[in-house]
Amino acid sequence: MKKIKGKVLSIAGSDSAGGAGIQADIKTITAMGAYASTAITAITAQNTLGVQEILELPINIIKNQIRAVLSDIGTDAIKIGMLSNKEIISCVTNELKTISVNTPIVLDPVMVAKGGRKLLQEDAEKRLISDLFPISKLLTPNIPEAEKISKIKINSTSDLLTAGKKIINMGIKNVLMKGGHLDGNKLVDILVTKDKIQYFENTRIHTNHTHGTGCTLSSSIASGLAQKLSLSDSIERAHTYVYQAIKYAPEIGRGKGPLNHLVGLNINKIYD
């Protein structure tokens, strides 16, 4: 019987298709050997073809979910995903002020769904930067998100690095610049910090089944941090996991299908 190691609170939206959001986070955190708790910020009606409808939950419900978890179960790391509007961002920020400064927060700045539906209101972007950047350990933007945050057009790995350096100067401690939207057979992500740059490379898998990749990567990294792995080791393990999850995707749905969160991975090699 495998022992659970580390607790992760996911604050994110619900995906009815089960491939992204809270559902992906729970599957990923469990696969990483940690314990998942949740605070749902919004309910979406969606499938592999896109998002049909979004219902943002009342602020009081979001606040009380976070309080209920932290006051009893507690957490060793937090993953933040879809927040929708500035009121929800303010609520989450205020509630997280009560946690230990040593509790790492992984912020996945969910702005647009793969199908193109906006998931973060325009007037909430500045609030995301001003409120959550300073308290987060890691930001994990994809290229469209990084372009909106940095105001830099990203067409190459060099542009990715330039944008990452600019984002670091906006108050975040570390940023993982994800290169998945670039062309080519090699996938390159770049970890940018105040004092170093680290590249994470893998062979690109050409597939349509990548729904929830960002959620899966960020919650996997949060799991590693909850288990006291270094940031670098947490990212390295998450890369391996996501690569395998894409490689063995179950080919569900008629659109952008989900990953296989149940892929085998000997995570004990790193942290046991």
> CA-CA distance, 71 to 247, in Å (whole number)?
39
Q: Are 77 and 105 in contact, with CB atoms under 8 Å apart? A: yes
* Cα separation, 271 vs 32, whole angstroms: 11
| Higher local confidence (pLDDT), 270 or 197 | 197
User: Which residues participate in catalysis according to the annotation?
Assistant: 178, 210, 212-215
In order, the DSSP letters of 4-50 are: P--EEEEEEEEETTSSSHHHHHHHHHHHTT-EEEEEEEEEEEEETTE
Check residue 125 and give its pLDDT.
86
Q: Considering the chain, what percentage of its residues have pLDDT values greater than 70?
A: 93
Section 14-24 average pLDDT: 97
Mean pLDDT (the chain, rounded): 92
- Dihedrals phi, psi of 188, to nearest 5 degrees: -125, 125
CB 48 within 8 A of CB 255: yes
* Residue 261 DSSP SS3: coil
pLDDT level of residue 185 (50, 70, 90 thresholds): confident
**What is the predicted pLDDT for the residue at 116?**
56
Q: Does residue 38 lie within any of the structural domains?
A: yes
Q: What is the mean pLDDT of residues 164-169?
A: 96
Q: What is the pLDDT of residue 2?
A: 74
* Banded model confidence at residue 268, pLDDT cuts 50, 70, 90: very low
2 domain-assigned? no
- Angstrom distance (rounded) from CA 126 to CA 245: 33
- Residue 113 forms part of a structural domain: yes
Of 157, 182, 174, the residue nearest 221 (C-alpha): 174
Grade residue 180 by pLDDT with cuts at 50, 70 and 90.
confident
pLDDT digits (tens, 9 = 90+) for 151-164: 999 999 999 999 99
pLDDT at position 184, please?
Answer: 82
Strand-strand pairing, 50-56 and 105-107: unpaired
Q: How far, in Å, CA of 37 to CA of 67, rounded?
A: 12
pLDDT tens per residue, range 74-110: 999 999 999 989 999 999 999 998 888 889 999 999 8
Residue 110 is predicted with a pLDDT of 83
Does residue 122 sit within a domain?
Answer: yes
If we measure between CA atoms, which residue out of 179, 181, 152 comes closest to residue 167?
A: 152
Predicted local distance difference test score (pLDDT) of residue 113: 62
Identify the domain containing residue 199 by its residue range.
7-271
CA 245/CA 240 separation, integer angstroms: 9
Coil, helix or strand for 120? strand
Give the predicted TM-score (pTM) of the model: 0.94
How does DSSP assign 149-210, residue by residue? HH-----SHHHHHHHHHHHHTTT-SEEEE--TTS-SSEEEEEEEESS-EEEEEEEPP--S--
Overall residue count recorded for the chain in this entry: 272
Number of domains in the chain: 1
pLDDT range class, residue 183, cuts 50, 70, 90: confident
Per the domain annotation, does 75 fall within a domain?
Answer: yes
Residue 270: its pLDDT value, please?
45
In this predicted model, what pLDDT tens digit does every residue of 208-256 receive, in sequence order? 999 999 999 999 999 999 999 999 999 999 999 999 999 999 999 999 9
Asked whether 160 and 146 are in contact (CB, 8 A), the reply is yes
Residues 35 and 29 sit within 8 Å (Cβ to Cβ): yes
Q: Is the pLDDT reported for residue 4 higher than 90?
A: yes
175/184: higher pLDDT: 175
Distance CA 87, CA 194 (A): 30
pLDDT in tens, 26-39: 999 999 999 999 99
- For residue 199, the domain's CATH number is 3.40.1190.20
